A and B are shown apart, each in its own frame.
Chain A
Amino acid sequence: MADGKFSVIGKPLPKVDAFAKSVGATQYADDLIFPRMAYGKLLRSPHPHARIVRIDTSPAEKMPGVLTVITGKIMPIKFGIMPTSEDEEAMAIERVRYVGEPVAAVAAIDEETAEAATEAIVVEYEELPAILSIEDALAHEENRIQTYNRKGNIHKAVSFEFGNPEEGFAEADYTREDVLFFEGNTHLPMEQHAVVAYFGPDRKLTIWSSTQTPHYVHRSLAKVLEMPPSRIRVIAAPVGGGFGGKSDPFSHEFCAAKLSMITGRPVKVVLTREEVFYTHRGRHPVKMWVKTGVKKDGSITAMHFRSFLDGGAYGSYGMASVHYTGVLQTTTYVVPHYKFEGARLFTNKPPCGPKRGHGTVQPRFAVEVHLDKIADDLKLDPIEMRLNMLVKSGDITVNGLQITSCALRECIEKVRDASGWKDKFRKLPYGKGIGFAASTYITGAGLPIYFNQMPHTGVQIKIDRGGGVTVFCGSTDIGQGSDSVLAYVVAEELGVDLWDIRVVTADTDLTPVDLGSYSSRVTIMMGNAAIEACRKLKGQLFQVAAEMLQVPAAELVARGGRIFHVRDAEKGASFVEVANKTEARFGTLGATGSYTPPKGIAKYKGSGVGPTPAYTFCAAVVELNCDPDTGFIVVEKVWIAHDCGQAVNPLLAEGQIEGSVYMGLGEALMEEQAFRTKLGIHKIPSMLEYKSPTTLDTPEIITMLVENGDPEGPYGAKEAGQGPLLPVPPAVVNAVYDAVGVRIDEVPITPDKVFKALEAKAKRRVLKPISIPTMSYPEPVRWSPSELAVGVK
């Protein structure tokens, strides 16, 4: 027997796809080549807002090598990831709403011809005034980007009152208000989106796409193409990075499908890097206002938070995003009374959506910087202040979220001690600084994107007569290692060699539905479903083995390719032998498992966002140099401790955490989805000019896993892929203050901003504060934990 409780779980094993990826053998969507394959290309709008007067495709159609040209009218049915905002068209029909929005598509015998053909299409536009900022969106109600929303350019406005905020503020010894801004940024996956679609002679459609959500793409294709879903097969090709940017159904997927249906050929569409910037769905720019009342020791008596999200032209996941900018304020520190008002605005820019830490990164930045200021005002150590007010296991927050396992205190203490915080905070020489922040994230959303009562994931297992085990699941490996996690779980449960397991995933024809790789849901949901399937199979296997070996089934274990008695390994048989005998007894071996998350405990309008099977907790300390003469910031070291419950594979968990730190540093210091202010065009849609950190800009990262098993997680596991990004940007901002004594209340903190702030400080000038808009909100939804007791009765 291996050491410890597990033989596979918790071991630093290679990823199951590591070998193919290392030698370049993995076939991404763009690597697929089929006989007679044609190439598709999309023509995109050059205007941020315009009416389409006329499209003439005939010059393109006449070009040699062009197979067909399509426009929006051919697919008029709207789609959208959220059922409440299905506002997108495969190609714009009457109006374009951002620079880069598709208006026509071409299939041709090669990519060069397809591109030349798109340029030959004549589109006559009538330009409309463009809304390019949150303020514009609120000020120009009459100039509506969408018309299905209730009012002006407000996509969604929400208002909540939990507990009695007024009373809470009255109890405060000290109250502070701050305004902060988090600039938008994009995912920048290495792989540009790519798709191949083939409508075969059997009149069935197959698409291979770099998507994180094949199930939702499947549903949307059926709807827009007006085809029964049973005739459509969606395969998520290996995904070269997603980070949330491949979670929506996309125009290029519908167009490739339609072009293939018309031409009868396989059609490939690969986006250029520039097109990926226009496709976007990245981090929302968010303006935030926060007011917090605290006692003398810093403990919170009440918080009032407002967020304004610059949503871009379409809904995407925005309905959820706006809630996420408010909901997790209560799950890190105890907030006894809480008021939240949020609004997502439509603007004539590429749609924003989910990016790693979806909607929670911006408010976490705001809250952690705000609390750092409060600690400073109260002359308290910001870490000690926070340690006085942490949520703990079993807590129910004021907005009705139930904290399951929580090792936040341990995370904070670990980074505090490892970083030498007490000897450094406010004690480092000028130009050097240290900063702290903590955070919470969800392990999977409690609700699916569309309302239904079915499981969120399913796993199916079959055992071959040679002992090979094949596992089927709709889960999608986007590089995070979900295929590996699936194999590890099955290897752990059935005791077979990891390399005797084959995983078949993300194929709507072959695999049971999994909702997709978003909201950090896969390990917990797929893992639990896989355990259930394995245990069903084990029931049969152990029953047969028990009879073979003359021992009670309950005393059997499966490990190392054998099934044997827990105390006497001699009493055993090989897995293959038992499997064969079991098949002889019961017929073909197979089992399924599925998982549905527990329901949230609070019931009020809007309570669907926030509940999760398990929250994770994270703390980070950042140490940096800030050159006062240039404003340049060089992060020296990051200490990060993450409560992941149980690492299924510590290498993968640490990799996720390091990746999150890297991405968080990019957002804190460099990355901006910036637009030319009047033209409404992306300023720098290239990997050269959109500044994202290189290896040389990435500091030493000390990762500490805090493994404090969660009762809901498979083997206690919780997420590690998104949560660790959250504390990084505010810890950087707080460290800059420690280094040079200026507060920059917006990210990214670029050198010019630091320089300007230092210069203003030296000249005792006050910089223009970040503006915060005003608006009227709907009547708040009111809820208090006291209602739970009523509910129980």
Chain B
Amino acid sequence: MLRLPPFRYIAPASVDEAARILSEHGPEATVVAGGTDLYPNMKRRQMTPSLLVGLRGLRNLRGIRGDKESGIAIGAGTTLTEINEDPRIQEMYPALAKAAGWVSTPQLRNMGTIGGNICLDTRCNYYNQSYFWRKAIGFCMKKDGDICLVAPGSPRCWAISSSDTVPVLMSLGATVSLRSVREERQIPVASLFQDDGIVYLTKAPDEILLSVSLPPVNGLKSTYWKLRRRGSFDFPVLGVAAALSLDESGNCDDARLVLGAVGSEPHVIKAAKEMLLGQKLTPEIIESVAEVASKPSRPLDNSDLDHGYRKRMTRVFVTRALRELAGLPIPRMGAPYDL
């Protein structure tokens, strides 16, 4: 079997201690919670930290707190299963419950945490391979090499942001808390990401993701649509998170549309808000939003399914997500994809 490379493991007793260890050891150290992303990547030598700082024992990083009035705060160490099954989240943020429930497989959701899914390493068919495989074709710039194999000549890495929960959290206006030896700070979840396949997180390497906070629902309806081959196991090859609210007369007074798995960071479709505000959710306006939304995504041949096809599906999935929120009939794909 593939073996883990040698590493040291420290289980700090507090977040403060964890922050101190990270600051002392610099980039050689990394945090681990569920390990469902990190350990396989380590087995394939995509990551070779010499020190792992285990967060799993830190109770205060785990749990879901809050209510309708104040909103909900989720500890970064809360498992995806716990989020999927939480009645408050199911009621208030159904898109998040869905997204968490569609990550990988039941076994991995029992281990994997929301913090891990937010910080999920970007993915690429040339990068998520064993050391042998990557060496055989010549390493890529994301690890051990200096070119991009999917877009040779490109100065940057095009690995794909593949989290299911991040687009949803962005559409819900979530914020995250980060802690380091220097400070604790809150930033919008969207500010945590940048458009680079290698340095895809804006946080400092020694900052620990503590929690994610969701504002009160305030009439916001949300949904998430995921394109993937199978009913389980697969990362999204396209994710569409949509959230919107309507005023008394049925006109849209808030709208957020975020695409996942189309680039190195989730894409916020700003035009969607501009187009929808003050409008009724007619099939026509939904079509035109979908048309606009499908423009910026430029998938490359580094994921499952034909990349041209993936781009074409953006329009279909945005249409379906918005039709769902508008209460319009949606073409069905049949179980288990019956979204």
Contacts and interface: CB of A to CB of B under 8 A. Distances in A.
A691 B316 contact: no
Contact of A634 (B234, B305, B312, B337): B337
Contact of A697 (B130, B230, B308, B332): B230
A696 interface: yes
Contacts of B128: 686, 689
Given A274-B130, A629-B331, A752-B305, A691 B1 contact: no
B3 interface: yes
Nearest to A754: B309
B306 A752 contact: yes
B7 interface: no
A632 interface: yes
B59 interface: no
B133 A681 contact: yes
B9 interface: no
Given A99-B136, A627-B331, A681-B137, A270 B229 contact: no
Residues of A in contact with B, size category: 35 or more
Contacts of B234: 688, 691
Given A46-B136, A696-B230, A697-B230, A630 B334 contact: no
Contact of B336 (A119, A683, A684, A696): A696
A636 interface: yes
A684 B6 CA distance: 26
A676 interface: yes
B84 to A, nearest CB: 15
A156 interface: no
B229 A670 contact: yes
B331 A684 contact: no
Contacts of A99: 136
A272 B3 CA distance: 10
Nearest to B105: A694
A625 B334 contact: yes
A412 B314 CA distance: 42
A634 B229 CA distance: 11
Given A688-B234, A689-B304, A44 B312 contact: no
Most buried by A among B227, B229, B235: B229
A33 interface: no
B313 interface: yes
A691 B237 CA distance: 13
Main secondary structure of the interface of A (DSSP, over half): loop
A755 interface: yes
B286 to A, nearest CB: 14
Interface in A454-506: none
A634 B233 contact: no
A627 B71 CA distance: 38
A599 interface: no
B3 A697 contact: no
A755 B333 CA distance: 14
Contact of B316 (A272, A629, A689, A752): A629
A691 B137 contact: no
Residues of B in contact with A, size category: 35 or more
Given A752-B306, A756-B309, A697 B125 contact: no
Interface string B317-330: 00000000000000
B135 interface: yes
Interface in B138-153: none
A533 to B, nearest CB: 41
A44 B305 contact: no
Contacts of B1: 111, 192, 270, 272
A46 B135 contact: yes
B335 to A, nearest CB: 7
Contacts of B333: 625, 627, 630, 632, 634
A752 B309 contact: yes
B231 interface: yes
Nearest to A113: B3
A44 B336 CA distance: 40
Contacts, number: 98
A590 interface: no
Interface in A33-67: 44, 46-47
B3 A684 contact: no
Given A630-B313, A694-B232, A694-B233, A112 B335 contact: no
A696 B336 CA distance: 6
Nearest to A756: B309
B137 A755 contact: no
B309 A683 contact: no
A680 to B, nearest CB: 10
Given A115-B3, A683-B125, A755-B309, A696 B232 contact: yes
Contacts of B304: 689, 691
A685 interface: yes
B130 A689 contact: no
Contact of A274 (B3, B132, B332): B132
Nearest to B303: A689
Given A625-B334, A629-B331, A670-B229, A751 B133 contact: no
A694 B230 contact: yes
Interface string B1-30: 111001000000000000000000000000
Given A99-B136, A634-B333, A691-B304, A112 B316 contact: no
Interface in A620-645: 625, 627-632, 634, 636
B305 A750 contact: yes
A693 interface: yes
Contacts of A670: 229-230
29 contacts: A47-B136, A112-B3, A272-B2, A274-B2, A274-B132, A625-B332, A627-B331, A627-B332, A627-B334, A628-B331, A630-B227, A630-B333, A631-B309, A634-B334, A679-B137, A681-B133, A681-B136, A683-B125, A689-B125, A689-B304, A691-B230, A694-B230, A694-B231, A695-B232, A696-B230, A696-B231, A697-B336, A750-B305, A750-B306
Given A628-B331, A676-B137, 15 more contacts: A46-B137, A99-B136, A192-B1, A270-B1, A630-B333, A632-B337, A634-B334, A670-B229, A679-B137, A683-B125, A686-B129, A688-B233, A689-B128, A691-B229, A752-B305
A-B pairs with the 9 shortest C-beta distances? A696-B231, A46-B136, A634-B334, A752-B309, A752-B306, A625-B334, A696-B336, A694-B232, A627-B333
